[in-house]
């Protein structure tokens, strides 16, 4: 999914080619989608792993933008990498090794209690874990402190609501200079969008994947879409994805947007642009508990690896505190590392961890039904139609449910 492509998560790299491997050495193949500066960090991780395991070389296979195609081809040819970055478990899990037995065996040594359960849960299919978390992001609201101060608007509070966000957003509307308080998506990634349904007490599909009627078109779902449509109609927010192709990130960096809901993948660009920003947790719907989508990548093992024990040692090392500390380009999966680096108290990073702490009870719709991709297309049309018309959420969601019924059987 696109948000995982944006997220600069970690991978392991060794420059040793297979042809250069010394006689008697074992080669562990690793497939990654990472590129650019992230790989420099991973070279160091690979060197440390190899130093602790004499006679082992880690061979990277950087599939980059062709990741899925190359991974599918390797499985089809019966020659997959031993370990790989993973997110699409419904698509690949039958070719992956469940890791629960490995984790149970090494639970104490790995200090699994140090890894939030919500991260491991993102890898589960039918209760089995098919990956160890590598990097993650939750969702937050970035806000421009200078714009807030200039407009005399109070900064977001610790536990704010959507009503408060809307009130603040309305104060920034400047039609002449095309300045808005917030942005809403006409074509959002459903993976992320479900967080708003969760926060309002519903979800896209039943927990057991058996139904969408009464969930995707529930009164709570209609309320979410209607709220965003009203924000657009009242010009409290600009609609992204219709007409003007400017992204929310570009508008925020250009100081045309006072608040922008996003995740870790936006932070680097805001830092580079020199924006004086703050970070707030996602707003709540009244007194309902707020949830965030968790964008997590993980390390998985091929079911057909010839050396599962070595592959597991590599995965263990990748999730060790030593390796986590080296990966400064993503959020640490270990609570102890986050605390040691003072991220859990830093006002910029703390909201990400606060959102993680309250977001481990839900799993995304794509994990619940094999036909979710087809159902999702109907939902996407409903959201877009609602945002274009700035209304009629119930009609469009009912239509999406009706079109989706045949995919549930």
Q: Residues 400, 381: contact at Cβ < 8 Å?
A: yes
Residue ranges of domains in the chain, CATH in brackets: 2-136+296-333 (3.40.190.10), 140-293+366-407 (3.40.190.10)
What pLDDT band is residue 24 in, cutting at 50, 70 and 90? low
**For the purposes of burial, counting CB atoms within 10 Å of the CB of 54, is it exposed (0-12), middle (13-18) or buried (19 or more)?**
exposed
The per-residue pLDDT for range 99-141, each reduced to its tens digit, is 999 999 999 889 999 999 889 989 999 889 999 999 999 999 9
The per-residue pLDDT for 6 is 40
The better pLDDT of the pair 392, 19 is held by 392
3-state class of 41 per DSSP? helix
What pLDDT shows up at residue 157?
A: 95
Higher-confidence residue of 213 and 127: namely 213
Alpha helices per DSSP H over 254-406: 264-273, 308-318, 321-326, 335-340, 350-357, 372-389, 393-404
Tokens of 187: 């074509």
pTM equals 0.89
What pairing do the DSSP bridges indicate for beta strands 132-137 and 295-301?
A: antiparallel
Phi (first) and psi of residue 109, to 5 degrees: -65, -35
């Amino acid at each position: 999914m696109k948000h995982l492509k944006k997220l600069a998560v970690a991978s392991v790299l060794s420059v040793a080619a297979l042809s250069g491997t010394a006689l008697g050495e074992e080669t562990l193949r690793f497939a990654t989608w990472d590129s650019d500066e992230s790989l420099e960090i991973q070279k160091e991780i690979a060197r440390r792993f190899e130093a602790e395991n004499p006679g082992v070389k880690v061979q990277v296979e950087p599939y980059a933008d062709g990741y899925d195609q190359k991974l599918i081809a390797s499985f089809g040819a019966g020659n997959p990498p031993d370990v790989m970055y993973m997110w699409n478990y419904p698509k690949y899990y039958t070719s992956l090794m469940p890791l629960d037995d490995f984790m149970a065996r090494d639970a104490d040594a790995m200090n699994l209690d140090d890894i939030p359960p919500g991260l491991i849960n993102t890898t589960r299919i039918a209760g089995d874990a098919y990956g160890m978390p590598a990097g993650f992001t939750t969702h937050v609201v970035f806000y421009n402190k200078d714009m807030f101060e200039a407009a005399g608007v109070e900064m977001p509070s610790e536990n704010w609501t959507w009503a408060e966000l809307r009130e603040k957003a309305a104060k920034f509307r400047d039609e002449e200079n095309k300045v808005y308080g917030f942005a809403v998506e006409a074509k959002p990634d459903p993976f992320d969008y479900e967080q708003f349904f969760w926060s309002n007490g519903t979800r896209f599909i039943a927990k057991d994947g058996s139904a969408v009627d009464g969930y995707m078109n529930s009164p709570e779902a209609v309320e979410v879409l209607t709220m965003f449509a009203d924000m657009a109609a009242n010009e409290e927010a600009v609609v992204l994805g219709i007409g003007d192709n400017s992204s929310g990130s570009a508008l925020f960096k250009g100081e045309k947007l006072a608040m922008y809901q996003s995740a870790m993948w936006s932070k680097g660009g805001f830092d580079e642009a020199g924006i004086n920003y703050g970070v707030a947790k996602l707003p709540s719907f009244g007194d309902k508990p707020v949830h965030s989508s968790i964008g997590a990548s993980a390390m998985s093992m091929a079911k057909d690896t010839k050396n599962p024990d070595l592959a597991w040692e590599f995965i263990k090392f990748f999730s060790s505190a030593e390796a986590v500390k080296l990966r400064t380009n993503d959020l640490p999966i270990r609570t102890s590392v986050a605390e040691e680096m003072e991220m859990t108290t830093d006002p910029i990073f703390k909201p990400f961890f606060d959102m993680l702490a309250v977001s481990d009870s839900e799993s995304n719709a794509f994990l619940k039904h094999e036909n979710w991709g087809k159902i999702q297309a109907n939902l996407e049309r409903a959201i877009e139609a609602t945002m274009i018309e700035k209304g009629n959420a119930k009609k469009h969601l009912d239509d999406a449910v009706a079109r989706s019924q045949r995919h549930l059987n």
